[in-house]
Amino acid sequence: MITEETRARLASLRQLVEEKTSPGRWLVLTHDNPDPDSLASAAALSTLLRALFRRKVTTAYGGIVGRAENRQMVRTLGLRLSHVRHLSWSHYKHFALVDCQPGTGNNALPSELGADVVIDHHPTRAGARKAAFADIRTAYGATATIATEYLAAAGVEIDRNLATALVYAIRTETQDFGREFSQFDRAVYDTLYPKADLRALARIQTPPLSVDYFRSLHRAVSSLQGVSTLVTTHLGEIDQPDIVPEIADLILRLEGRTWALASGAFGDRLYLSIRTTNPRADAGRLMRRLLGRRGRGGGHGMTAGGWMPFNGQEGERLHQHLSRRLASHLKKDPRKLGPLRELQPRGGEDA
């Protein structure tokens, strides 16, 4: 489970923490609206800093923990998290980012502070090159896998709750090893699984769902559009951004579709998610091309997310514009993008 690369990088991290940084408090940050991979990776890195280096650490996030499964994960496993709005940046001397990178617009770290440590599995962005220590492994399916290797290489005990968090992170990030995983993810998962709390895992995977969730699901189905193998939907106003990638994953399962785009309006931003079944795709690059300079986005092969600012009621118009642009990029006729007829009620059937 422990690669030579991880052993070498742990030695570099040890040199940085013990010899090149002051003993001040660390802040470990997830990306905004964190998913299980970001949450579990942050918990693992915080554990490493405390157990191996005896550093004082705060683990924090921006945005909201919105998806029901993610909230249940935090509650059930007792993950120690603070929201950045409750923190004073001047209280911290060192900063680490997990499952994200500086300057990408998807985390709360102010640009003037910079990151001492970056651990991620997404393609390298310019901001990460300025970090004192960056471990970015795009061949890995989950950042949680990298973080687990560090703990193993350091000989730090992984307790039951952390093992459960890491197992759930790898499972969700790779969609049960059906999407973008490596031999390293599989090896780490197989090692952690016997330590995990399976009852807690079951509670996390089947949490109670709010009425708002079903309202969003209804809007998603009602506004489905498509052309060829592309399907899109706009959720309108949403109560939390995490619903957008969840719906994108769901509509990609529609028979005959290999690309999906979902969007939803939250605050003054339009959030977007792209999903594909094409293992040779570069969804992150495609998302950045769609948004251009108006927004921020990224991702990797088969998944991508992003956002752009918008005003008033233009969410639907922006969605249509971006859907047509995506269709064009995928060599599909944007003029044929329209409601999915196969989901319309047939004559004589109950609506």
Structure tokens at 314: 């233009």
The verdict on 298 and 187 lying in the same domain is: no
Q: Convert the pLDDT of each residue in 38-47 to its tens digit.
A: 999 999 999 9
What is the pLDDT, as a whole number, of residue 346?
45
Residues 52 and 71 in one domain: yes
Beta-carbon neighbour count of residue 14 at 10 Å? 13
Q: Does some domain include residue 113?
A: yes
Same-domain pairing of 194 and 232: no
φ/ψ (deg, to 5) at 342 = -70, -15
- Domain for residue 308, yes or no? yes
For residue 348, being part of any structural domain is answered with: no
Last residue within a domain, chosen from 187, 205, 223: 205
Q: Which segments of the chain does DSSP mark as H helices, in order? A: 4-15, 36-51, 68-77, 143-154, 160-173, 183-192, 198-205, 211-222, 243-251, 283-291, 315-329
Q: What is the pLDDT of residue 342?
A: 60
Q: Are residues 270 and 311 in the same domain?
A: yes
198 and 224 share a domain? no
Output the six-digit token pair for 235: 């959720």
Q: What does the pLDDT look like over 70-116, one tens digit per residue?
A: 999 999 999 999 999 999 999 999 999 999 999 888 999 998 998 99
Domain total of the chain: 2
Both tokens of 266, joined, read 């939250």
Residue 230 forms part of a structural domain:
yes
CATH number for 90: 3.90.1640.10
Residue 134 sits in the same domain as residue 280:
no
Q: Comparing C-alpha atoms, which of 256, 229, 255, 246 is closest to residue 326?
A: 229
Q: How many CB atoms lie within 10 A of CB 236?
A: 17
Q: Is residue 350 part of a domain?
A: no
187 and 306 part of one domain: no
| Composition of the chain by helix, strand, coil, percent to 5 | 45, 20, 40
Per-residue pLDDT tens digits of the chain, which is 351 residues long = 788 999 999 999 999 999 888 889 999 999 999 999 999 999 999 999 999 999 999 999 999 999 999 999 999 999 999 999 999 999 999 999 999 999 888 999 998 998 999 999 999 988 999 999 999 999 999 999 999 999 999 999 999 999 999 999 999 999 899 888 999 999 999 999 999 999 999 999 999 999 999 999 999 999 999 999 999 999 999 999 999 999 999 999 999 999 999 999 998 999 999 999 998 899 989 999 999 888 888 888 889 999 999 886 788 899 999 999 999 999 999 999 999 876 554 443 332
Residue 135 in any domain: the answer is yes
Domain boundary pick from 205, 225, 260: 205
Q: Looking at the structure, tell me whether residues 109 and 181 fall in a common domain.
A: yes
Identify the domain containing residue 85 by its residue range: 4-205
Q: Give the chain's end-to-end CA distance (angstroms, integer).
A: 53
pTM flag (> 0.85): yes
- Domain boundary pick from 182, 205, 228: 205
Shared domain for 160 and 219, answered yes or no, is no
Residues 191 and 81 in one domain: yes
Same domain flag for 57 and 173:
yes
Does any domain span residue 349? no
Among residues 74, 98, 77, 75, the alpha carbon closest in space to that of 26 is found at 98
List Cβ neighbours of 101 (8 Å cut-off, separation of 6 or more). Answer: 107, 115, 118, 120, 122, 124, 125, 127, 128, 136
Core vs surface per residue 316-329: b (16+ CB within 10 A) or e: eebbbebbbbbbee
Sorted by sequence, the CB contacts under 8 Å of residue 216 that are 6+ apart come out as 235, 238, 239, 243, 247, 264
Q: What is the CATH number of the domain that holds 297?
A: 3.10.310.40
Number of H helices, E strands in the chain: 11, 13
Q: Is residue 219 situated within a structural domain? A: yes
Query: Both 68 and 154 in a single domain?
Result: yes
Q: What's the token pair of residue 124? A: 């390298």
What is the C-alpha separation between 124 and 315, in angstroms, rounded? 30
